């Protein structure tokens, strides 16, 4: 049976200029949203000093700051489900624009708002509210972007579109790291505390508003417009339809998201801490390796996407997850035993392998029918990410108490679980 994507784009084999513009604006917006979300992490210590009482123990100030950051994750499922509900009923474009506005305005406001020294305890309360709003926004943005782009391009380019878009999300993380590095090189610690810390947040907010303006020129997806014309939109709660009729797809989506979080959180984001804390690398070396690995992961996202369009999403998931497991086995035991050049090369290959995460969204596109696609992707991705995202680093830290490469003992079972899940996806959906 032909999918609705195929019916809508049956006569189109190549990407049009509008497809390219949609893909570029969606990727750029996703990068800026991720930048806005993660820049908080890079300035967590500064925020802990400025938004909490001066006499508060630094440990508790940092704990409160990270607790507010975690609140953003806790609100992702709620935001994703609510926004996806209206996205499936009212249209993808409206919610796509709303999500970036809800991310950009709080970032801009954070860069302009007074600190504890001026408004007292209202400062941390406002900080918490802003992070809650951003959690709702990021929960809606990523599934919205995957759905929006996939329903614009011809069916044979869905893998490439999702790979390119996910690479854009990684670009946001890289952009945040680079901005933090530039700030550290151009401002002293005192200058940053005195007000320079506002610059990255104001820039993020302004760029987000620019992207919001540019996204106003995007059109509603052909798939959604076709469903409107045929009166095929769901008439009941999309999440109710999802839970009652698509349980297997939800479980597969959640398990693949678990693998995705391992790739992003453990292999990319947490790597500098491992390199500097256990194996004697300098902060500069660790940053350079992390930044280059993120670039390799972005390249991998696009390559896996292109190959998925040619060879099949399921086959590339199986091959990519196996490649990630193999490189993890080679990389982690090499730490502390081989030259820096060899470790760098192995880490770059591991980063490339994790690009397979870029086509997990393509798998979810194929699993959920258009009428509840936004809800299906959002529910699977956000609920899984909120749960395992919160547990991943504490579990890796516990494993590291038994071995310096405890992270490997988290990644390897996750790769095995991911492989089994990818095989089930391939057998059930033949994609």
Domain architecture of the chain: domains with CATH: 16-233 (1.20.1250.20), 236-431 (1.20.1250.20)
23-27, 111-115, 200-204, 222-226 — which is least confidently predicted? 222-226
16-30, 129-143, 246-260, 283-297 — which is least confidently predicted? 16-30
The model carries a pTM of 0.80
**Phi–psi pair at 3, nearest 5 degrees:** -75, 165
With contact defined as beta carbons under 8 Å apart, do 224 and 91 qualify?
yes
Task: Give the 3-state DSSP-derived string for 389-429, with helices as H, strands as E and coil as C.
Answer: HHHHHHHHHHHHCCCCCCCHHHHHHHHHHHHHHHHHHHHHH
Instruction: Count the alpha carbons within 13 Å of 40 in the hemisphere toward its beta carbon.
Output: 29
Q: What is the pLDDT of residues 33-76, one digit of tens each?
A: 678 767 777 777 788 888 888 777 766 666 666 666 666 667 77
* 133-170 exposure pattern, b = at least 16 Cβ within 10 A, e = fewer: bbbbbbbbbbbbbbbbbbbbbbbbbbbbbbbbbbbbbb
Q: Taking the CA atoms of the chain, what radius of gyration do you get in angstroms?
A: 21
With contact defined as beta carbons under 8 Å apart, do 141 and 133 qualify?
no
Res 9: pLDDT: 46
Q: What is the pLDDT of residues 71-129, one digit of tens each?
A: 666 777 777 777 666 666 666 666 767 777 888 888 899 899 999 889 998 988 888 88
Helix (H, G, I), strand (E, B) or coil at 335: coil
Residue 67's closest CA among 8, 135, 114, 119?
135
> 3-state DSSP helix/strand/coil percent for the chain, to nearest 5?
85, 0, 15
Q: Among all chains, which residue has been given the structure tokens 């409160």?
A: 64
């Amino acid at each position: 049976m032909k999918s609705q994507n195929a019916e809508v784009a049956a006569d189109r084999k190549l990407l049009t200029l509008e497809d390219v513009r949609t893909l570029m604006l969606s990727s750029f917006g996703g990068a800026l949203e991720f930048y806005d979300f993660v820049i908080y992490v890079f300035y967590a210590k500064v925020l802990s000093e400025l938004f909490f009482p001066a006499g508060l123990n630094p440990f508790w100030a940092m704990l409160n700051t990270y607790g507010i950051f975690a609140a953003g994750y806790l609100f992702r499922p709620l935001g994703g489900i609510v926004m996806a509900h209206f996205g499936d009923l009212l249209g993808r474009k409206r919610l796509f624009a709303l999500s970036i506005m809800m991310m950009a305005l709080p970032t801009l406001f954070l860069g302009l708002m007074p600190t504890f020294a001026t408004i007292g305890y209202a400062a941390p309360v406002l900080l918490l509210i802003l992070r809650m709003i951003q959690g709702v926004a990021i929960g809606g943005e990523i599934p919205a972007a995957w759905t929006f782009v996939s329903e614009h391009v011809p069916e044979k380019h869905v893998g490439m579109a999702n790979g390119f878009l996910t690479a854009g999300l990684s670009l946001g993380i890289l952009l945040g790291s680079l901005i933090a590095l530039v700030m550290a090189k151009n401002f002293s610690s005192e200058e940053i505390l005195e007000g320079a810390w506002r610059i990255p947040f104001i820039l993020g907010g302004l760029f987000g508003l620019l992207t919001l303006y540019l996204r106003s020129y995007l059109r509603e997806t052909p798939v959604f417009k076709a469903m409107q014309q045929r009166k095929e939109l769901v008439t009941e709660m999309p999440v109710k339809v999802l839970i009652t009729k698509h349980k297997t797809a939800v479980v597969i989506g959640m398990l693949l998201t678990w693998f995705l979080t391992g790739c992003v959180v453990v292999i990319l984001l947490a790597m500098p801490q491992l390199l500097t804390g256990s194996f004697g690398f300098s902060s500069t070396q660790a940053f350079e390796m992390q930044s280059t690995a993120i670039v390799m992961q972005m390249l991998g996202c696009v390559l896996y996407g292109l190959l998925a369009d040619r060879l099949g999403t399921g086959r590339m998931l199986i091959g990519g997850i196996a490649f990630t497991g193999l490189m993890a086995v080679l990389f982690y035991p090499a730490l502390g035993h081989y030259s820096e050049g060899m470790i760098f090369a192995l880490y770059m290959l591991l980063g490339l392998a994790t690009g397979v995460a870029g086509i997990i969204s393509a798998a979810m596109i194929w699993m959920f029918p258009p009428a509840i696609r936004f809800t299906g992707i959002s529910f699977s991705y956000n609920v899984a990410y909120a749960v395992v995202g919160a547990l991943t680093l504490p579990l890796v830290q516990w494993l590291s108490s038994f071995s310096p490469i405890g992270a490997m003992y988290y990644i390897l079972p996750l790769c095995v679980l991911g492989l089994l899940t990818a095989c089930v996806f391939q057998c059930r959906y033949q994609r």
